[in-house]
């Protein structure tokens, strides 16, 4: 992509707001302007594109379906401002994971027109505690290094969720970290002490903080306590259903680079009804997605709504932007995404004064928002 494009407005840069312009093709070539207070003018907001590290589905499609599912999912999320993402699996038999990863691998190699960049895989299962499945199907199993290497050879696993208290998993955390994967603690009944040990062995984050993990008590801090006391990074679902706003704000005070994910499902962007989440049937109603027994099962959240939700609970726009873009990119070591600076990819979102999306660019390609 060679034609230079320009956007003008309140531009959020790593050094703060400027009132000016961004010039770009596939990458940002220049940013010009003067230091600004966006509250004192009425220009549009220009922010880094959103980075979502926990995406199960959208548009009626689930990552475990294989076929063209991931392309459909990546296109739907791009229309809501997500410019890069990890395709996230469900706990399932290894044969199902192999099939899903083969399809994800194709999407990782080539970005489809109109779609978010698929950076790789978040393997959320099956290496979790069968006593803390949440909405995961009952196929939890103990991990082996050989099996993870086998799956990683099919599609690049950038992030993996494990329950560290399971037999052999603490040593595995160290081995996976040495392979360059980010290891998150999740779907766990582990104690505070087991969480601290996992972090000492190289684990770097927590999967959907508070949800599907042992809770904080003042005499038994649990895995939530380990996260709040020691984590630099953690993901959280800010749909205001999974976590109370007060608990979100508490986590933000404790975890410096708490970042947001959607944990979105096939029901995202779709009407109320019945959908699949891996091998599970889920129901979308009243703004959420649930199993038959009422258990929350992922979300219908999109990242533009996540941004608005953060602002609605009191965050300023610059802080909210980092939590839907920069911190997730930093977590994966992606210094050319999640920020607007010269030579970064031109992953850009434009919002009006009410924080509604008006334009999205993925690596300089303007996304058609007509079906958003």
* Known catalytic membership, residue 52: no
Helix, strand counts (H, E) of the chain = 10, 20
- Contact between 140 and 301 (Cβ < 8 Å): no
Helix orientation angle between 222-230 and 245-254, rounded to the nearest 10 degrees = 50
Element (H, E) at 351: strand 348-351
Q: Outline where the chain has alpha helix (H).
A: 69-78, 94-109, 145-154, 169-178, 192-200, 222-230, 245-254, 303-312, 317-321, 327-331
Q: What pairing do the DSSP bridges indicate for beta strands 233-236 and 57-58?
A: unpaired
Q: Is 326 helix (H, G, I), strand (E, B) or coil?
A: helix
Burial 178-198 (b: 16+ CB within 10 A, else e): eeebbbbbbbbbbbbebbbbb
Look at residues 55, 84, 41, 155 and name the one whose alpha carbon lies nearest to residue 326. Answer: 84
- Contact between 184 and 205 (Cβ < 8 Å): yes
- Contact between 49 and 12 (Cβ < 8 Å): no
Task: Give the side-chain half-sphere CA count within 13 A for 149.
Answer: 7
CA 3, distance to chain mean position in Å, is 31
How many whole angstroms separate alpha carbon 360 and alpha carbon 371? 13
Element (H, E) at 322: none
DSSP code of residue 216: P
Given the residues 52, 62, 239, 263, the one annotated as active site? 263
Sign of the alpha-carbon torsion through 67, 73, 75, 76: positive
Q: What pairing do the DSSP bridges indicate for beta strands 57-58 and 365-366?
A: unpaired
Helix orientation angle between 192-200 and 222-230, rounded to the nearest 10 degrees = 40
Catalytic site positions? 263
């Amino acid at each position: 992509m060679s034609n230079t494009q320009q956007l003008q407005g309140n531009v959020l840069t790593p050094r703060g707001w400027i009132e000016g312009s961004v010039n770009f093709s596939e990458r940002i070539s220049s940013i010009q302007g003067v230091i600004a207070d966006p509250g004192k003018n009425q220009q549009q907001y220009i922010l880094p594109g959103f980075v979502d590290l926990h995406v199960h589905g959208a548009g009626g499609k689930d990552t475990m379906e294989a076929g063209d599912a991931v392309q459909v999912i990546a296109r739907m999320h791009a229309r809501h401002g997500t410019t890069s993402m990890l395709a996230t699996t469900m706990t399932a038999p290894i044969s199902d994971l192999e099939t899903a990863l083969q399809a994800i691998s194709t999407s990782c190699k080539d970005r489809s027109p109109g779609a978010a960049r698929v950076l790789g895989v978040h393997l959320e299962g099956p290496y979790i505690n069968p006593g803390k499945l949440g909405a995961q199907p009952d196929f939890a199993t103990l991990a082996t290094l050989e099996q993870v290497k086998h799956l990683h050879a099919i599609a690049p696993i950038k992030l993996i969720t494990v329950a560290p208290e399971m037999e052999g998993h603490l040593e595995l955390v160290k081995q996976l970290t040495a392979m360059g994967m980010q290891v998150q603690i999740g779907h766990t009944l582990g104690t505070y002490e087991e969480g601290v040990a996992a972090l000492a062995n190289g684990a770097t984050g927590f999967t959907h903080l508070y949800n599907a993990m042992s809770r904080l008590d003042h005499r038994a801090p649990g895995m939530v306590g380990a996260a709040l006391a020691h984590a630099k990074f953690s993901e959280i679902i800010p749909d205001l259903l999974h976590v109370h706003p007060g608990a979100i704000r508490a986590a933000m005070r404790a975890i410096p680079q708490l970042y947001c994910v959607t944990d979105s499902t096939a029901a995202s962007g779709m009407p109320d009804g019945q959908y699949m989440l891996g091998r599970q049937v889920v129901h979308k109603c009243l703004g959420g997605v649930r199993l038959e027994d009422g258990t929350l099962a992922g979300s219908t959240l999109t990242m533009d709504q996540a941004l608005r939700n953060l602002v609605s609970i009191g965050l300023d726009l610059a802080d909210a932007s980092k939590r839907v873009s920069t911190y997730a990119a930093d977590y994966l070591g992606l210094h050319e995404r999640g920020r607007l600076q010269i030579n970064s990819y031109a992953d850009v979102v434009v919002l009006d004064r009410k924080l509604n999306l008006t334009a999205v660019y993925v690596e300089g390609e303007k996304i058609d928002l007509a079906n958003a």
